[in-house]
Amino acid sequence: MSFQQPAREFEKAMTNESSKNQPQAAASQAQLSGETRRRFGLTGKDLRKRLARWKRGIAFVALFSVIINLLMLTVPIYLMQLSDRVLVSRSLDTLIMLTAGAVGAILLLALFDMVRRYILTRIGMRLETELGGPLLAASIDQSANGGGSDVQALRDLGQVRGFISGPVVPMLFDLPVAPLYILMVYLIHPDLGWIALAGSLILLIFALTNQSVTSAPMAQAGGHSMTALGRAQAHTRNADTVRAMGMLPDCVRAWGEENRDALGHQRIANDRNAVVSGLSKLCRLILQITILGWGAFLTLGNEITAGMAIAASIIGSRALAPIEGAIEGWRSLVSALQSYARVKQVLSQATARSERIELPVPMGDVGVEQLAYAAPQTRDPIIKGISFDIPKGNLVALIGPTGAGKSTLGRMLVGAINPSSGTIRLDGADLRNWDALQRGDYIGYLPQGVELFPGTIAQNIARLRNDSSDEQIVQAAKFAGAHDLILRQKHGYETMIQLGGMPLSGGERQRVALARAFYGSPKLVVLDEPDANLDRDGETALARCLLSAKSAGITVIIVTQRPAMLRYVDRILALTDGKIEAYGPRDKLLHRPVENKSPPQAAPAAQPAPQPAPASPYQDPSAVPDKLAGAVANSDNK
């Protein structure tokens, strides 16, 4: 029997189990391609199903733990036989046979212990593989809906995986076998068995006390530590602002206050754990001496042999070792349980993504019906029940003062955030009824704060897809007018982009992001301040891109604060305080009626009958030309 054989059998069993559940297993891959990209989402039921698939692995570990603990009796039995048989009979053959058997048992013990750890390591790694993808998706969803942009859940998952692969879990599996050791000591002599049982109960009381006195400070330490880490991440993300404005000492002080509280509570928990751990170790050693001493007393009375007394001491010590080990590793156990609870919480709040029927390729017609949005934990809505339609192939400028809700509306139009009420329709279908991945193929988005992902320029343009062709990437770059700019980079399309977008400038990042927005065959593109960081060449390239989009029949919505951008659009939508101030064709909204200053006629012709109010849910654009002109002149972006 080779060292790898039991582990290979377990891994093969896990592979077979995974193959039976291929749709669920494939959904958690970090890199997805083809149809696998469509399988995302993890509900509480899915979580229970995935965890249940590891019952076989846990069963293997439990079985090996029983075998290991039985083999741990080798040393005390060997010592007992040496004392009671070999030293009495002085038989060399008996010594050789006992030694050979003991060495063989120890070799098996080492083998099963290594295989147990091998399996636990695989379970931890597969657990992270299974839950990592859905957990990242859940974190992204919560970030998009105002839940913060932290990936603490992934760190928690890594901590759970490290705990499973660590030294504490084997001790926990050894804990249920402790009564077997106590029973064996009792069989040697009842008095020694009662002593071992009393010591076990005392250590159990120590373990419960340790849990009681350390759980609260450890939880408080964890909360302060996460807050301190969040502050540190915010400070590093805004490093330029911190250095330019001399905020470094204040940032360190703000982080240090939270970290100080975390360390203070951690110190309290560690001190209490150290006291309980020291007492438990003292108890175990005293128990071992007590068993030896009482065993010697029983030996003097010819009730047991000297070898039996030594064996009872070793077995009794082994019975208490798992309890003492659990106390020693209590901090890591509590931290792992807290991390796992946070992982479950994030997954429980995740939006399940189920595969939907693929709808026909959209043309780009956009309809908005009574749309409203309020930020999480706020009452005042940002968007207040607006409705409008955008025919396919139109270029629409979204303008308005600061705080009007322009960027929020743009994010909702591309599905980045869900509206609080109302409906957004793409070719008549509710945006939420589209398959998320199919919808993404037909939507492009350039956010106000441009961020590129670590990777090459080509990977960023291709939206990190691993099934894209070079032709599609170059075509998108040429469409956005970024092809020549990319070729001027040292490594062209293979230029590596680091965290923060380096080595590209702000304008270069914006033009690469513009190419990403037009990658593939988008039918609806939302550009939020696309000209914010562009120079003259960039503005020229953007203008050509917009004209090309119009020729290609792509519906484009431009959030802008520059009146010069209005020359390229077909329609203008002006927002004020989350409501539509004006909406209609550009030429009609920007045209001001020329006031007639000629002298009045003596007998004017009969006045035409007044036109009825338009039967549209929007305001009559011609009624608010002055307001719109002011909005164009003073428009700002939220």
**Domain's final residue, options 313, 348, 383:** 348
pLDDT value at 545 more than 90: yes
pLDDT value at 518 more than 90: yes
* Residue closest to 213 by CA, chosen among 157, 279, 163, 161: 279
User: What's the CATH number where 307 sits?
Assistant: 1.20.1560.10
What pLDDT, on a 0 to 100 scale, did the predictor assign at position 355? 63
Same domain for 142 and 227: yes
Same domain for 374 and 319: no
What pLDDT, on a 0 to 100 scale, did the predictor assign at position 90? 83
The first and second tokens of residue 626, run together, are 């002055």
Residue 184 falls inside a structural domain: yes
Q: How far apart are CA 486 and CA 474, in angstroms?
A: 10
Q: Percentage of residues in the chain with pLDDT exceeding 90?
A: 18
Q: How far apart are CA 638 and CA 99, in angstroms?
A: 81
What pLDDT, on a 0 to 100 scale, did the predictor assign at position 249? 81
* Residue closest to 494 by CA, chosen among 506, 502, 504, 486: 486
Decide if 585 contacts 411 (C-beta within 8 A): no
Same domain for 384 and 293: no
Residue 137 falls inside a structural domain: yes
Same domain for 282 and 371: no
Q: How many domains does the chain have?
A: 2
What share of residues in the chain are helix, strand, coil (percent, to 5)? 60, 10, 30
Same domain for 281 and 247: yes
The answer to whether the bond into 610 is cis (omega within 30° of 0) is no
What pLDDT band is residue 147 in, cutting at 50, 70 and 90? low
Same domain for 206 and 89: yes
Amino acid at 160: V
Same domain for 243 and 168: yes
Decide if 135 contacts 347 (C-beta within 8 A): yes
Residue 7 falls inside a structural domain: no
Where is 328: in which H helix or E strand?
helix 306-328
Same domain for 388 and 333: no
Mean pLDDT over 518-547 rounds to 89
**Domain's final residue, options 292, 313, 348:** 348
Residue 112 falls inside a structural domain: yes
pLDDT tens digits, residue range 380-389?
Answer: 888 988 999 9
Residue 515 falls inside a structural domain: no
What pLDDT, on a 0 to 100 scale, did the predictor assign at position 621? 35
What pLDDT, on a 0 to 100 scale, did the predictor assign at position 51? 63
What pLDDT, on a 0 to 100 scale, did the predictor assign at position 45? 55
Residue 433 falls inside a structural domain: yes
Structure letter (DSSP) for residue 304:
S
* Residue closest to 522 by CA, chosen among 401, 426, 388, 594: 426
Q: How far apart are CA 394 and CA 240, in angstroms?
A: 39
Domain residues for the domain of 426 are 364-442+524-532+558-592+615-638
Same domain for 278 and 396: no
Q: How far apart are CA 413 and CA 423, in angstroms?
A: 10
Decide if 561 contacts 531 (C-beta within 8 A): no
User: What's the CATH number where 424 sits?
Assistant: 3.40.50.300
**Domain's final residue, options 282, 316, 348:** 348
Same domain for 334 and 304: yes
Amino acid at 141: D
What pLDDT, on a 0 to 100 scale, did the predictor assign at position 474? 93
Highest mean pLDDT among 5-9, 18-22, 128-132: 128-132
- Which residue in the block uniquely carries the two structure tokens 């279908």? 429
Neighbours of 628 (CB within 10 A): 23
What pLDDT, on a 0 to 100 scale, did the predictor assign at position 596? 38
- Average pLDDT, rounded, for the chain: 79
What pLDDT band is residue 369 in, cutting at 50, 70 and 90? very high
Decide if 624 contacts 581 (C-beta within 8 A): yes
Beta strands in 374-504 (DSSP E): 383-390, 395-399, 421-426, 429-430, 443-446, 455-456, 496-497
pLDDT tens digits, residue range 284-313?
Answer: 888 888 888 998 899 888 888 888 888 888
What pLDDT band is residue 524 in, cutting at 50, 70 and 90? very high
Same domain for 420 and 271: no
Residue 339 falls inside a structural domain: yes
Is residue 598 packed enough to be buried (19+ CB in 10 Å), middle (13-18) or exposed (0-12)?
exposed
For the chain, what's the residue count?
638
What pLDDT, on a 0 to 100 scale, did the predictor assign at position 302? 86
Residue 228 falls inside a structural domain: yes
Same domain for 195 and 256: yes
Q: In terms of DSSP bridges, do strands 555-559 and 395-399 run parallel, antiparallel, or are they unpaired? A: parallel
